[in-house]
Structure 1
Amino acid sequence: MEPKVDLSKQIKEAAPKSYWSIVLKRLRRNYGALIGGGILLFFIVISVFAPILAPYPIDIMQMESRLQGPSSAHWLGTDEFGRDILSRIMYGGRVSLMMGLVAVSIAGTVGVILGVISGYYRKIDMYIMQLMDILLAFPSLLLAIAIIAVLGVGLTNAMIAVAIAVIPSYVRVVRGTVLSIREKEYIEAVKALGVKDFKIIVKHITPNFLSPVIVLSTLQFGTSILAAASLSFLGLGAQPPTPEWGAMAYVGKSFLLNAWWMSLFPGLAIMLVVLGFNLLGDGLRDALDPRLK
């Protein structure tokens, strides 16, 4: 008697896999991306659930416990006002991650729009790219400081400044992709059929630059958090007593000799989050590359 053949299983295995299922499979095989994702998941969880997980309130001063080193009572020590460093790092993750999210969202939205316009409508391409070249002529941090000098010191202005400094990266990536796609034969054919430009951009051009933009956003997320923390460290971003990692490191530098933990642990949090985004971004770049099998 011949064994039964499971046709449904064979058909399922023979069916072509979707692009995103292949990407997810590649991503699961990339240990660097998994480590980066694990680091980010850890910080996201402790930040979101900070009111539940934080062992101490962040705004109550306990002068009798000031400048205590790491111990069983305070795992990461206390600051100059006796506030628990671990609790402040948990709450600070909300501010730092939100700064990165807002900066990347603004930069990504504006950069993609300008990149598409620049690449598709060549008449105004020169003007947009000249503006981007001017922005790229300045180091990102220096440009952000100059923008804050105009807008004023504060958390919101710091996010706007970081976003403006990041916009040129998106414009150049999207513009390059649009320039190569708009000359393809199928785009010319769609134009000949009378399809409007907006529909061509959304349906035929956007999917081609979506992958590079996702990778760039992941990498720029870490860069934006680092830039925002740098601005706070310089006293231009989040202001005390806001528990932001860069601002905490700035306050801790005055006590570096006798209370090293005040700057070390917020600095480690910044380093780990940026590392997590870089590892995840590298993994996404490899997984989304259609040339890899």
Structure 2
Amino acid sequence: MLGNNPTSLVYPDPIDIETKTQSSVAHFIKKMKKNKGAVVGAMILLFFIITSAFAPFIAPYPVNEMKFEDSLQGPSMAHWLGTDEFGRDIWTRMLYGGRVSLLMGLFAVTLSGTIGVILGVLAGYYRKLDIYIMQFIDILMTFPSLLMAIAIVAVLGVGLTNAMIAVAISVVPSFVRVVRGSVLSIRETEYVEASKAIGVKDWKIICKHILPNVASPIIILATLEFGSSILSAAALSFLGLGAQPPNPEWGALVFVGKSFLSQAWWMTLFPGLAIMLVVLGFNLLGDGLRDALDPRSK
């Protein structure tokens, strides 16, 4: 019996909470280290992020410097990955192209994640809105994501910014469905029902109980969609709908290189390899996060 004395109430010990938090973080790090695929994926991504971020300091040549006397030279000590039809260094352009490709993926995932989480929470928490939001999402999902992105660019116009917006919109349905499914199960839990019963406002319930519990699937999905967004953005640039010359985006580099495939295979191979490795890195890391953040595996 606690009696009527308020001081007799037992509150959680802050030290215990801190210990449990540290234990959870340590468990997460331990599981990530054990997952060799996640470690490899993280190392791949770390390499491309560092080289892209420090491209101005790493690149041996100016990104758009043309030397026609060096055009279509193969890989050598002077030009590690060869040169293009204008004598520009491929390694330099790939470093700067990584910045464009990674930023396109980051923008697309951030925008689509924000919109998707908002719509998913509204659809899962408010039954009256659910049918309207999901009907709209179902319509969007009838189109393949790349086809939808192409249609959006056709409406908005060709360009880097419009390509990022198009890719972001095409990814929104994935976030909405994942978040909605999680919210539907969480809103039926006892602590949410108890919060409603004592008059807690909806926005407080969403911020305090709903969002923290859907964070894990959002993080996992965002990691996986990051790679998909980069691939979609590269596809748009390859089709001439995304980054425009002289922007050295990876998809655009592959597009230019295909015209010289028989003469200069390196113009296509190395940018394509970079796209493949980055997408692989995000997929491996996403799989590792899914295993580490899965409550059933603890």
TM-score bin (small chain): over 0.9
The code of the aligned residue for 1:271 comes to M
Amino acid at match of 2:60: P
Alignment deviations for residues 234-288 of structure 1 (CA, whole Å, 9 cap, x no partner):
0000001100000000000000001110011000000000000000000000000
Answer yes or no: is 1:133 the counterpart of 2:159.
no
CA distance in 2, matches of 1:60, 1:139: 39
Return the alpha-carbon distance in structure 2 between the equivalents of residues 149 and 200 of structure 1.
41
In structure 2, the residue corresponding to 1:18 is in which secondary structure? helix
Whether 1:124 and 2:100 are equivalent positions in the alignment is no
Deviation, structure 1 residue 184: 1.2
Shift of 1:25: 1.5
Corresponding position of 1:218: 223
TM-score for the superposition, normalised by structure 2: 0.92
CA–CA distance in structure 2, aligned partners of residues 198 and 24 of structure 1: 32
Inter-partner Cα distance in structure 1 for 2:56 and 2:113: 31
CA RMSD of aligned residues (A): 1.2
SS at match of 2:193: helix
| Residue 193 of structure 1: how far off its partner (Å) | 1.0
Match of 1:3 in 2: none
- Alignment-derived partner of residue 88 in structure 1: 93
Deviations 1:153-198 (A, max 9, x none): 0000000000000000000000001111111111111111111000
The corresponding residue for 2:6 is: none
Within a 5 Å distance, the mapping from 1:50-129 to structure 2 comes to 50-129=55-134
Say whether residues 1:43 and 2:48 are aligned partners: yes
Paired letter, 2:235: S
**How many pairs does the alignment contain?**
281
Partner of 1:170: 175
For 1:73, the aligned partner's letter is A
Partner of 2:191: 186
% identical equivalent positions:
72
How many angstroms apart in 2 are the aligned matches of 1:53 and 1:187? 53
Give the letter aligned to residue 281 of structure 1: G
Find runs of 4+ consecutive structure 1 residues off by over 2 angstroms: 15-21
Find the counterpart in structure 1 of residue 293 from structure 2.
Answer: 288
Amino acid at match of 2:120: G
> 1:35-67: CA deviations, max 9, x gaps?
000000000010010000001111111000000
- 1:266 equivalent among 264, 271, 276: 271
Question: C-alpha separation between the residues in 2 aligned to 1:186 and 1:282?
Answer: 30
Q: What is the alpha-carbon distance in structure 1 between the residues aligned to residue 111 and residue 268 of structure 2?
A: 30
Amino acid at match of 1:90: L
CA distance in structure 2 between the partners assigned to 1:241 and 1:185 by the alignment: 58
Equivalences for 1:28-39 in 2 at 5 Å? Answer: 28-39=33-44
- The DSSP-based 3-state class of the residue aligned with 2:296 is coil
Q: Give, in angstroms, the shift of residue 19 of structure 1.
A: 2.4
Q: What is the deviation of 1:215?
A: 0.3
Q: AA paired with 2:104? A: M
Q: Aligned partner of 2:86: which letter?
A: F
**Aligned mates of 1:269, 1:263 — CA distance in 2:** 10
- Structure 2 letter corresponding to 1:95: V
Once residues 201 and 228 of structure 2 are traced to their aligned partners in structure 1, the CA distance between those partners, rounded to angstroms, is 37
Shift of 1:137: 0.3
Question: Which runs of no fewer than 5 residues in structure 1 stay unpaired?
Answer: 1-10
Amino acid across the alignment from 2:78: A
Specify every segment of 5 or more residues in structure 2 that has no aligned partner in the other structure, as ranges. 1-14
Aligned equivalents of 2:49 and 2:129: distance in 1? 41
1:132: how far off? 0.5
Q: Secondary structure at the match of 1:44?
A: helix
Equivalent residue, structure 2, for 1:24: 29
Cα displacement (A) at 1:20? 2.7
